[in-house]
Copies of this chain bind each other. A is one copy, B any other.
Amino acid sequence: MAKEIYNFSAGPSTLPKSVLVEAAEEMCSYKGSGMSVMEISHRSKLFETILEEAKEDFTKLYQIPAEYEILFLQGGGSTQFAMIPLNLMKNKKADYIVTGQWAKKAFQEGQVFLDARKALSSEDKSFSYIPDLSAFSVRPDSDYVYICENNTIYGTAYSSLPDTQGVPLVSDISSSLLSKPLDVTKYGLLFGGAQKNLGPAGVTIVIIRKDLIPEETLIPVPTMLKYKTHADSNSLYNTPPVYSIYIAGKVLKWLLSLGGLSVMEKINQEKAALLYDYLDQSKLFYGTAEKDSRSVMNVTFLPKDPALTDVFLDEAKEAGLVNLKGHRSVGGIRASLYNAMPIEGVKTLVQFMEQFEARYNK
């Protein structure tokens, strides 16, 4: 029998068990075809249906208006860091709010192609907070304002959006994707890698307002890095990651069957509250993100005695609570509580931490 574990990995990360069980059952013959989804053409009826349903389910879950395009791309968020300036630039100016390593990488990539301004940053305190957005003023001729809405490494998240005065807002939602409802109309472009809340690594979702897709780019851009290429071909310009989209489609249906994103949000808040409430009264552990900037998806914390970090990680692993190690750039402990993490997983973790505290806080 498979070992019973809870997987707190920050990504690739835990998926709904029912999705994996179905995928295993269908591996050798999808819908009685005698073929695996890995073996079917991306231009077959079978795959066409998978792709269309995934788009429809996305549209339902986020209530995406008709003036937005949903694209299934490859290359991860890091490829978006370049596609965004390359496609959106008109005045060759953009404003970035830098709240972590990924926003910083996006900012640096922006600098390669245009006048990227670091409008706000929280690097002064190791990205442990979201800057006061009232201090943000946009350059009115900026092509876009860039934010990373949930910072996986530091356990922070935006609780409101900057006022961009009509300049398109671009948001990296990789690690909060589908974790709660959002108002798509507030954004010009939203993107996220699948490997946290949606499915296997290898597919990236882009939701873009159609009028932001340029007919012609300002400078020569590789065909595969033009949004227009993918918008014009329904994400089928070349062979897409067929199997990853198939699994993502199953996760979307799982979310709908739960009741959609409002229900998911409630569950996610409950899970995060369990852990934060414990941390706030603990004598041994403390959260590293500032309270008003806390992420519901990634909870970062430390024991007061740093030497206990490795002891904790080892003992947790023994107890079946795995992948709790913080990002290699910051260390510490991180529990990622993505959609597919059941509340029992968080309860088991808190219980384990209580016992650990009783043993080590002397």
Task: Write the residues of chain A forming the contact surface with B, with a CB cutoff of 8 angstroms.
Answer: 2-5, 7, 9-15, 17, 20-21, 23-25, 27-29, 32-36, 38-44, 74-79, 81-83, 86, 109, 112-113, 193, 195, 199-203, 220, 222-225, 237-244, 247, 320, 322-323, 328
| CB <8 Å contact, B247 and A81 | no
| CB <8 Å contact, A200 and B82 | no
Q: If the complex has contacts A3-B32, A34-B320, A202-B243, are A222 and B79 also in contact, measured as CB distance less than 8 A?
A: yes
A270–B38 Cα gap in the complex (Å)? 26
| CB <8 Å contact, B224 and A75 | yes
Q: Which 8 A-B pairs have the closest CB atoms?
A: A202-B241, A82-B222, A2-B29, A24-B27, A5-B34, A3-B34, A74-B74, A38-B200
Given contacts A12-B38, A74-B79, A201-B240, list 5 more A-B pairs with CB under 8 A: A9-B44, A15-B38, A23-B27, A76-B239, A202-B202
Interface of A is mostly: loop
A86–B17 Cα gap in the complex (Å)? 43
The answer, among B20, B39, B240, for a CB contact under 8 Å with A36, is: B20
* Nearest neighbor of A41 in chain B, beta-carbon distance: B9
| CB <8 Å contact, B12 and A28 | no
Which residues on the B side are within 8 Å of A202 (C-beta)? Answer: 74, 202-203, 240-244
| CB <8 Å contact, B3 and A29 | yes
Which residues on the B side are within 8 Å of A43 (C-beta)? Answer: 328
Q: If the complex has contacts A222-B225, A240-B201, A241-B244, are A13 and B39 also in contact, measured as CB distance less than 8 A?
A: yes
Which residues on the B side are within 8 Å of A28 (C-beta)? Answer: 2, 17, 20-21, 24
Chain B's nearest CB lies how many Å from the CB of A145?
Answer: 21
